[in-house]
Chains A and B, each alone.
Chain A
Amino acid sequence: MSNIITVKDMNLWYGDHQALKNINIEIPEKSITALIGPSGCGKSTFLKTLNRMNDLVPSVKITGDIRYNDTDIFSKEVDVNSLRKEIGMVFQKPNPFPMSIYDNVAYGPRTHGITNKAQLDEIVESALRDAAIWDEVKDRLKKNALGMSGGQQQRLCIARALAVQPKILLMDEPTSALDPISTSRIEELAMELKEKYTIVMVTHNMQQAVRVSDYTAFFLLGELVEFGKTDDIFSQPKDKRTEDYITGRFG
């Protein structure tokens, strides 16, 4: 399996504070990679670096090399908006726009120039189907998205991200604000989506990492301590710190 993202010697500072230290990682295509580690260790920061959402933080400074399919994502030729179209993101707190369900999903495609109604209808339906929420919302597409439950809102956000046909889906603790039933629906969904998409998912829930991910990266204090097949990481961690963390001795 080939790697879709390659990170080499990446460092990141917020002002004087170094949040990521010498990160090296290769993320395989069409799989789920879980990022685990205690709070504040830089998981979200790492995730936001991949679609350059960190550019929005004024004090940020990044060194090193990040390649998405061989293109340097920081090179001048790369248009950050096209990059973000390819690398979608789902946030920790469900954040649908205060618009109708339909308009939420159609937002991305419209932004990228699709105006044909029939075409939009088709994109919206297929994105909602892919996000396993079509049956629940097909009769109320014109209703405001804020009226849905938290779990439905999160799946709508996934649909919204899928509607621009990304290659990668970054998910930052997508289930931390949800109840157990919604959580397991999202987990199932993630496992279905990896047929078509590469998923990088931050989670603070180690069982979740074991349940859904193929690869796991363990972060600690801004360092990538260990990265490998999820089964290996959880059955025979190489690093003492990983072992301590997954056995619950800290964090």
Chain B
Amino acid sequence: MKTRKNSKKVNHAIQDIKWETEYKHQQKKRNRTQTMENIIHGIFLLLGLITVGCVLLITVYLVISGIPAIKEIGIADFLFGKEWASTAAQPEYGILPFILTSIYGTAGAIVIGVPIGFMTAVYLSKMASPKVKSAMQTAVSLLAGIPSVVYGLVGMLVLVPGIRKIFNVPDGASLLAAIIVLAIMILPSIIKMSVTALDAVPKEYEDASLALGATPVETYFKVSVPAAKSGIAAAVVLGVGRAIGEAMAVMMVAGNVPNMPDSLFQSVRFLTTAVSSEMSYSSGLQRQALFSIALVLFLFIMLINVTLNFFLKREKE
């Protein structure tokens, strides 16, 4: 009896030691994995910081290199000057034509692109059969993947002569051509984002509306679209961002002459193309002025991004 008790005790002691070593072993292992985790965490943080670093670098660089010319020309003369003649004997550095062209061009693209994109999104999300939906979404993705130089090329070969013939103007390369190309270019982002927002509307809302005797179309426009409005607004802002930042295609179809955009058929130059078309041969104040234009463009894009984030945040809530 006694010995058995003793042996039990011994057994317990051995068990305890076993557990203790086991515990220590585990602890060590845990420490090791912890260190490993920390290292990996650090690497990922570093990689993330690369992006942040780039943004900061670009911002600082643009501000530093953009300010001198603005100072020299004078902010009012620069922003509101109607004439850009950078290589003239008496150079003029007014970028109002570019600012207005970018604004009109973007606004025009939105006016044409948003209704088409929005209606397409409603159709795809709510009415199309699964087959049609997947086929059309593939087409939309392809449209998004086409390089902008191809848009420019097709615009040059089809749109520009078309405008010349239809409206009987001397040159089809114009604000109108740029607006049409931009409208097509922003379609994919508007469609994709609106479809995502519309797809996310809970089916319960639509069921409730149908059960009240509303027709499907009434339901989509009175319930689904309002419920997805933040996402759709974000899609529009994203489209604005794409349009205002586009350079290559508009360079090819807008004529690229620094005129004030007085008419749809005027040959015009955008903020983006103002920078890119003179950069290669510019020098001195002209070159600095190009940096200033880039800064203005950058501020526009920043503003658009802030707006976009605002809508995206609201969508989440």
Contact = CB atoms under 8 A, between A and B. Distances in A.
Nearest to A81: B213
A34 interface: no
Interface stretch (A89-97, A178-186, A224-232): A89-97
Interface in A84-117: 84-85, 88-89, 91, 93, 95-99, 107-108, 111-112
Contacts of B205: 95, 97-98
Q: Which size class do A's interface residues fall under?
A: 20 to 34
A88 B210 contact: no
Given A51-B211, A53-B207, A91-B208, A107 B222 contact: yes
B223 interface: yes
B232 to A, nearest CB: 14
A160 B218 contact: no
A93 B211 contact: no
B212 A107 contact: yes
Interface in B215-264: 215, 218, 222-223, 226-227
Interface residues of B, number: 17
B214 to A, nearest CB: 5
- Which among B202, B207, B211 has the greatest number of chain A C-beta atoms within 10 A? B211
A160 B212 CA distance: 8
Interface string B175-219: 000000000000000000000000000101101111111110010
A108 B212 CA distance: 6
A157 interface: yes
A161 interface: yes
A84 B204 CA distance: 16
B212 A88 contact: yes
A85 to B, nearest CB: 3
Q: Which of B212, B215, B226, B227 has the most CB of A within 10 A?
A: B212
A85 B208 contact: no
B127 to A, nearest CB: 13
A111 B218 contact: yes
A164 B212 CA distance: 7
Nearest to A95: B204
B208 A95 contact: yes
Given A91-B204, A99-B226, A53 B218 contact: no
Contact of B211 (A53, A97, A98, A99): A53
A161 B202 CA distance: 19
A180 to B, nearest CB: 24
Nearest to A93: B204
Given A95-B202, A97-B205, A107-B222, A89 B227 contact: no
**Chain B CB within 10 A, most for which of A88, A108, A111:** A111
Given A95-B202, A97-B205, A111-B222, A85 B210 contact: no
B223 A82 contact: no
A84 B207 CA distance: 11
Interface string A57-100: 00000000000000000000000011111001101010111110
Return the 9 tightest CB-CB contacts between A and B, nearest first.
Answer: A85-B213, A95-B204, A89-B211, A108-B212, A84-B213, A81-B213, A111-B214, A95-B208, A98-B227
Interface of A: 51, 53, 56, 81-85, 88-89, 91, 93, 95-99, 107-108, 111-112, 157, 160-161, 164
Given A88-B211, A95-B208, A107-B212, 5 more contacts: A84-B213, A91-B207, A91-B211, A111-B214, A160-B212
7 contacts: A53-B207, A84-B210, A88-B211, A91-B204, A91-B207, A97-B208, A161-B212
